[in-house]
Amino acid sequence: MLATMPKTFAEYPRAPHHASAGRNGLPSCFRLAGFSLLEVLIALVILSVGLLGIAAMISTTLKSNDSAYMRTQATALAYNIIDRMRANRTAAENGMYDVAMPASAATGGNPTNCTGATCGSATLAAYDLGQWEYDLATLLPQGRGAVTSTDNSGVTLVTITVLWNDSRAQDSLQKSGAPPAATFSMSVSSAL
């Protein structure tokens, strides 16, 4: 005859007092095991501190990435005006592209329009500078630039300086101990 299995814990035989028994007199294999509330709370505190650290790291990375993007834009714009000067070499060699650093970013549109029209060398230089200053103001925060050219034994040397507000990255870098720089300046020198 087959033995029947007990249907409730109460029907299980009680362990003797000298055997390992739980609070209800059940063998230890029937005891429930798990984490205490304190262990769970400690694990949550550790997890939340780790997540806050990750969030701070991502925020710093995004701010630094924004600064790197601005430097990339400034480099592209500096080479843009150099290419325009190479295309209009006569005006560049006569200093028609030379412009001092303005006090603030350009706000108006371009005064001349050379698209689809025949422009002289001086008019094209004015158009190129207006277009470049407009691009500086729209692609960089408070962006502005200067162009200087000098003749060095028959070779025209050009220095492009681009200046913009980099305060967003400044906040991030100050926390890391880097020197603050509210404005960032970049110079590119090239021969035409």
> What are the φ and ψ backbone dihedral angles of 61, each rounded to 5 degrees?
-65, -45
CA-nearest of 153, 133, 149 to 90 is: 149
Residue 77 has pLDDT above 90, yes or no: yes
Residue 122 has pLDDT above 80, yes or no: yes
**pLDDT, the chain, mean:** 78
Is residue 81 very low, low, confident or very high in pLDDT (cuts 50, 70, 90)? very high
Is residue 54 very low, low, confident or very high in pLDDT (cuts 50, 70, 90)? very high
SS3 22: coil
Residue 116 has pLDDT above 90, yes or no: no
Residues of the chain above pLDDT 70, percent: 67
Is residue 102 very low, low, confident or very high in pLDDT (cuts 50, 70, 90)? confident
pLDDT at 117: 67
pLDDT single digits (tens) 128-140: 998 899 899 888 8
Mean pLDDT, range 23-36, rounded to an integer: 60
Is residue 106 very low, low, confident or very high in pLDDT (cuts 50, 70, 90)? low
pLDDT at 186: 73
Is residue 174 very low, low, confident or very high in pLDDT (cuts 50, 70, 90)? low
d(CA 154, CA 175) in angstroms, rounded, equals 49
- Other CB atoms within 10 A of residue 19 CB: 10
Strand partners, 185: 163
Which H or E run contains 127?
helix 121-139
Enter the tokens of residue 27: 């063998």
3-state helix, strand, coil in the chain (%, to 5): 45, 15, 35
Enter the tokens of residue 179: 């020197």
Residue 83 has pLDDT above 90, yes or no: yes
pTM (whole model) above 0.75: no
Which H or E run contains 48?
helix 37-87
For residues 64 and 33, which has the higher predicted lDDT (pLDDT)?
64
